[in-house]
Amino acid sequence: MGGKKLRICGLTMAAVTMVQAINAGLRRAMTNDASVVLMGEDIGRLGGVFRVTEGLQQSFGEQRVIDSPLAESGLVGTAIGMAMRGYRPVIEIQFDGFIYPAFDQIVSQLAKFHRRTDGAVQVPVVIRIPYGGGIGAVEHHSESPEAYFAHTAGLRILSPGDPSAAYRMIQQAVSSPDPVLFFEPKRRYWDRAEVDQEQIDAQLNVTGPWRARLARRGSDVTVACYGPMVRTCLEAAHVASQEGIAELEVIDLQSLAPIDFDAIEESVNRTGRLVVVHEAPMTAGLGAEIAATLTERCFYVLQAPVARVTGFDVPYPASRLEHAYLPSVDRILDAVEDTLEG
């Protein structure tokens, strides 16, 4: 395979998966900072359910890559205490639907401790959460709970859309002085892409993690998305162009808290139209906040109402029906055509 090579764990590859990219990012963060400690259920010997932490315990030992009990609340609480003592814990929640036992620890303690101590104590905890559907999983394994946490002041939220972003953003999350929830789109874990590791490393402190990325330039409609929907929206943009429907500009939000509204506004000022896409249900989702804010900012520019393409307001369905639940290229293009007619 052509292109630039990437060296990860001693292996040279032309393209890597998101799993490998996150693993490499964690490895570099642990190498550079001895206070970085990983914790989670089965993340050590097994390497995690999705093998994201594979090989790290062998490299850094059981004192820095810790297999925890099956107790999410205790896991987050322990991480908070370690952060108060100067460590930088990175914990893994095995699946999105398992985050709820730790909800109180996250929104009542982790999010508020810096404020509660009047800035005296920082809690630089990273919580890694595989999220979203599309892998044919059983109940409680395909949730999209990001809006719960984006509503909570004091938390930062990141979600990479491809391996390059994942490699960069996991390192930036670990180095952040604030608590970060790192939502990893599990349906994209095995997508491959070339990653220029040296270039990313050189720009880690230049490119901030809280900024959106222009994933594709277009002139007719802005499509704002994140995480698992980035690839789907890029596919929709390709089809729209090939079929002469429109030239879509795709904005990969990357940061869900804070949201880079300036980047979306700049794009909408060019296109005059906006479609927001995410897997989570529509009601009170991030799409609603984006639609409201951009309507306020771009009222006299918008040529049609902001459209949303999302999951439905129902519990996530059985795997045999998830194709009907998840936003698809066809549903995105339907929204694009509606907004072009608006």
Amino acid 247 reads: E
How far apart, in whole angstroms, are the C-alpha atoms of residue 224 and residue 214?
Answer: 10
How far is it, in rounded angstroms, from Cα 194 to Cα 213?
17
Secondary structure (3-state) at 236 = helix
| Beta pairing class for 36-40 and 65-67 | parallel
Considering only CA atoms, which of 173, 159, 154, 21 is closest in space to residue 88? 173
* DSSP letter (8 states) at residue 108: I
CA-CA distance, 174 to 159, in Å (whole number)? 14
Gyration radius (Cα) of the chain, Å: 20
Which active-site residues does the annotation give?
A: 141
Q: Provide the token pair at 10.
A: 């001693």
Name the residue among 155, 157, 176, 174 with its Cα closest to residue 109. 155
What are the backbone angles phi and psi of residue 292, rounded to the nearest 5°? -65, -45
Task: Judge if the upstream peptide bond of residue 258 is cis by omega within 30 degrees of 0.
Answer: yes
